[in-house]
Amino acid sequence: MRWHAQNMSAKAITATTAQTVSFTGNDLPSTGVIAYHFASVGGANNSLANCLANGFRVKADGQTIYDADVTTLRKWMERFTQANYAPATTALRWSIWFNFTDIVDDDLADTCQFPPGTVPTVEFLTNASVAAGSLLGGWTQTDVEQHFTPYFLQQANNVGATQKQAQFPLNTPGNAAIRGLVLPTTGLGTLRMELNSYAYINNTSALFQNAATGDMLQELDSIEDGSTSGAPTITTHAAIRVPMIVPSSGLSRLVLDTESTWTAANAITLWMAHAL
């Protein structure tokens, strides 16, 4: 069973100031939590795009378990939630989910929860376009027995432009299994994803940004993200589903051919689950 609640103590947003708006264990529970929900007050400037302009972080006892940018969050929601819903950048409400959002059965989905018995911290890094206002926090909890805790972490790929067969190692904290990943596609020429030496993705055609070439990876994204238009809403990033594989060090990697518009700072984000 799930239940929902909201803490009515608001977190202030200072106008025209880039800042970190934080929720802590005084504001949010951690036991049985499968999602945190947030709503902004103060007008259109306090949108998803502005309140998360410089990213967001979720911590458990000070350890970062979620760290990503707003486009990655939206792409993850579009591809891996049952509603296949990416909130608009102008949205004044948003959620951060910790369960297996791609599983239809609630009881199975909710076996993955926020790390139990830890103190939560959620940080939103705004830009200076925000207005005077506040953020409100809420949550969804479950009484389903927990078996997993999640990670959603990104890092720079450190591969430069116009590289051939460059490698990005797939390593996970604490032997967590990879559930999926999100990566930018501008300047990405080809992609091979190896998991324990198996080529899970082997795409040798051009990716999203080359409209002249038929692209199987974009077709996969179109089928699985459920968009009514038949194509992903967010085409600057790709999302790839992985069947809960724990990657072996040295045997799991992304192999990239990059073009002139690719940068080493492009972030690759892994969605992972750690068995308790």
Tokens of 211: 């409209």
Residue 230 CA, chain-centre distance (Å), reads 22
pLDDT single digits (tens) 65-78 = 999 999 999 999 98
Looking at the predicted structure, is the pLDDT value of residue 231 above 80? no
CA torsion angle 6 14 269 171 (round to 10): -90
Residue found by looking up tokens 């199987």 in the block? 216
CA distances from 195 to 50, 143, 246, 252 (A): 36, 34, 8, 4
pTM assigned to the model: 0.93
Q: pLDDT confidence of 216, banded at 50, 70, 90?
A: low
Q: Kindly tell me if the per-residue pLDDT of 54 is higher than 80.
A: yes
CA-wise closest residue to 159 among 270, 262, 240, 249? 262
- The answer to whether the beta carbons of residues 123 and 24 sit under 8 Å apart is no
- pLDDT at position 82 is 80
Residues 1, 142: contact at Cβ < 8 Å?
Answer: yes
Least confident of 28-37, 45-54, 178-187: 178-187
Burial of 90: CB neighbours in 10 Å, binned 0-12, 13-18, 19+: exposed
**Using CA atoms, how far apart are residues 30 and 114, in angstroms rounded to an integer?**
6
DSSP three-state, residue 204: coil
Domain map (residue ranges) of the chain: 2-146, 151-275
Question: What is the pLDDT at residue 206?
Answer: 59
**C-alpha 123, offset from chain centre:** 15
Which class for 214: exposed (0-12), middle (13-18), buried (19 or more C-beta within 10 A)? exposed
SS (H, E, C) 109-166: HCCECCCCCCCEEEEEECCCCCCCEEEEEEEEEECCCCCEEEEEEEEECCCCCCCCCE
Q: Per the structure block, which two tokens stand in for 238?
A: 């790709």
Topology annotation, domain 151-275: Jelly Rolls (2.60.120)
* 254: confidence class by pLDDT, cuts 50, 70, 90: very high
Q: Above 90 in pLDDT, residue 190?
A: no
Sequence length of the chain is 276
Q: What is the pLDDT of residue 182?
A: 94
Q: Does domain 2-146 have CATH number 3.50.50.60?
A: no
pLDDT at residue 7, rounded to an integer = 82
Residue 213 predicted with pLDDT over 60:
no
> Given this chain, do its domains 2-146 and 151-275 carry the same CATH topology?
yes
